Amino acid sequence: MGGVKISAGLHARAAGNYFEKDRLLMTEFNRFFAPRSLAFLGASSDTNKWGYRILSNIVHGGFRGKIYPVNPRGGEALGLQFYKSLEEVPEVPDLVVIVVPPVAMVDTIKGCISKGIKAGVVVTAGFAEVNESGAAAQDEMVALARQGGMRLIGPNCFGILIPSAKLYAQMPPIFPPDGHIAVVSQSGNVGLTIARRAMAHDFGCSCMVSIGNEADLHAEDFLEYLADDAKTAVILAYIEGFKDGRRFFEIARNTSLKKPIVMIKVGETEAGASAARSHTAALSGSAEVFGGIGRQAGIIRANNLQELMNLGYGFLCHPLPKGRRVGIATLGGGWGVLAADACARLGLDVVKLPQDIIKELDSFLPGWWSRNNPVDLVAGSADAIIRVVDVLARYGGIDSVIALGVPFPHLARMTLPTNEEEKKQVIQFIVESYSKSFSDMKAISEKYGKPVIIAAELPAPRTEGSFDQDIMRSISKQNMVCYSMPDEAAMVLNSMARYGEFIRRG
């Protein structure tokens, strides 16, 4: 049986290789987050059924532990023989993933308990989100599980995704790599949207938990676990409503003191709340109440998915700013105006530059530069922006720098060569040029301990195929991110400054 290998460094404190050494460390959450074996209840060989598709994702995802598919009628799929009952399974699996129909749920849970199983993910829908009899069935299921000492995720969820365990027990075939973003979502499809977008930027996930109806385990239980999960650097959450608001905010506050929670909270309009009720039976509560309590708990609010992603990348890549004073360096005037406007609207301080800084910039910038903050290089040499960022970041009167544009590769031609070998070389040159620009910016950020947040277009020659992905990958390898719009950089910086204030207040 394969063990979960967790690498050193950042992950040193993670749940790690506990189970190979010490069985006693196996807590209920480890069963979810690093199971050594799992039973899949409701396996199917019909490729149109979730009983096949989820099993397929578990198998293709490369889960390193034992997989025991179970179906009362037997059968086989994906090279696995189905067990006719849980009793026949030759060990007590750490985790069960359940996709049986609602009518079979009570017997299934009873079977799990008599087998001694302590952790289950109930994917099956048709409970409290549907009607009152569904709610009653859900209550019965939870009561049974609790009596038997079994904890449940769901029902009505997409599953769970733990890249470090190569566990991809979820509906769509998406396989984000291991990383430091944790996703806790009341919506499976929003959770996977988040995981997929992170993946497109080449950032990995420490987990994606689709919590569904939260019949037993609630969002806050996962926050509590993730607060001490060394692998997780930032938690992205999508929440429609709270089962126990007081407990949620208490735990969220304690978690926020350890790492940022970025959250989309929906259901604050009547239309949204009604949609949430039929989605996950969530009771949404009012915007005002959440706004105030959320801020006190240090929760960073995102207004939409794009903001959520941008904030996630920001917290992952940048140190917290020590204050609200911003310096802006830009390769183009318009982007500078957009950024200055966005900063000022959010309450960031686009400081006036003192004479000695202006003098220093004068020493190497062309005569026509703006002599203002934003420092506008006005079509001067793009390479100079690195020096400008260094001067701004060094200045004690500035807490963070926004750089709009980076030095870009100077290309002899505007189209890629048709010769495949030459083309590869040109692409490699472009990717490496950008990579170097971002590592230079990163070095400045680290030297002065201040965030350097970059928004830029990454101009490349005309080409039939896109290689943005390669550029993105080279950037995220530096643990950097390139925002595509100046106001995004301002928004991220403002939320990071606000979170810094929360942390300092304690």
Residues numbered 61-120 forming contacts with its own copies, rule: CB under 8 A: none
Of 299 and 338, which CB lies nearer to its own copies in the complex structure? Answer: 338
* Residue 482 host element (H or E): strand 482-483
**Cα 185 to Cα 282: distance, rounded to the nearest angstrom:** 12
Q: Does 188 engage in binding with its own copies (CB under 8 A)?
A: yes
Of 7 and 303, which CB lies nearer to its own copies in the complex structure? Answer: 303
Write out the binding residues for its own copies, residues 329-348 only, by CB under 8 A.
331-338, 340-345
Q: Does 266 engage in binding with its own copies (CB under 8 A)?
A: yes
Write out the binding residues for its own copies, residues 236-255 only, by CB under 8 A.
238, 240
Q: Does 14 engage in binding with its own copies (CB under 8 A)?
A: no
How many residues contact its own copies, by CB under 8 A?
78
Q: Which residues sit opposite 485 in a β-bridge?
A: none
Answer yes or no: are the C-beta atoms of 157 and 188 closer than 8 Å: yes
Q: Does 424 engage in binding with its own copies (CB under 8 A)?
A: no
Structure tokens at 352: 């006036």
Distances (CA, A) of 497 to 233, 295, 384, 446, 492: 17, 13, 27, 17, 9
Q: Does 179 engage in binding with its own copies (CB under 8 A)?
A: no
Q: Does 483 engage in binding with its own copies (CB under 8 A)?
A: no
Q: How far is the CB of 210 from its own copies (least distance, A)?
A: 9
**Cα 190 to Cα 192: distance, rounded to the nearest angstrom:** 5
Distances (CA, A) of 479 to 92, 300, 323: 40, 21, 22
Distances (CA, A) of 417 to 187, 432, 470: 46, 18, 18
Q: Does 279 engage in binding with its own copies (CB under 8 A)?
A: yes
Q: Does 187 engage in binding with its own copies (CB under 8 A)?
A: yes
Answer yes or no: are the C-beta atoms of 283 and 265 closer than 8 Å: no
Q: Which stretch binds its own copies (CB under 8 A): 25-33, 93-101, 270-278, 313-321?
A: 270-278
**Cα 308 to Cα 184: distance, rounded to the nearest angstrom:** 12
Q: Does 428 engage in binding with its own copies (CB under 8 A)?
A: no
Q: How far is the CB of 24 from its own copies (least distance, A)?
A: 38
Write out the binding residues for its own copies, residues 307-326 only, by CB under 8 A.
none
CA dihedral 254, 226, 264, 135 (to 10 degrees): -100
Exactly one of 72, 204, 272, 285 binds its own copies (CB under 8 A); that residue is 272
Q: Which residues sit opposite 454 in a β-bridge?
A: 403, 482
Nearest to 206 by CA among 26, 475, 6, 469: 6
Q: Does 176 engage in binding with its own copies (CB under 8 A)?
A: no
**Cα 134 to Cα 345: distance, rounded to the nearest angstrom:** 48
Judged by DSSP in three states, 61 sits in helix
Exactly one of 29, 33, 50, 290 binds its own copies (CB under 8 A); that residue is 50
Q: How far is the CB of 376 from its own copies (least distance, A)?
A: 6
Q: How far is the CB of 242 from its own copies (least distance, A)?
A: 15
Q: How far is the CB of 233 from its own copies (least distance, A)?
A: 24
Q: Does 289 engage in binding with its own copies (CB under 8 A)?
A: no
**Cα 453 to Cα 468: distance, rounded to the nearest angstrom:** 19
Q: How far is the CB of 255 from its own copies (least distance, A)?
A: 22
Q: How far is the CB of 336 from its own copies (least distance, A)?
A: 5
Which x/- pattern over 356-395 shows residues binding its own copies (rule: CB under 8 A)?
Answer: ------------x-xxxxx-x-xx----------------
Residue in the block written with tokens 């040159």: 429
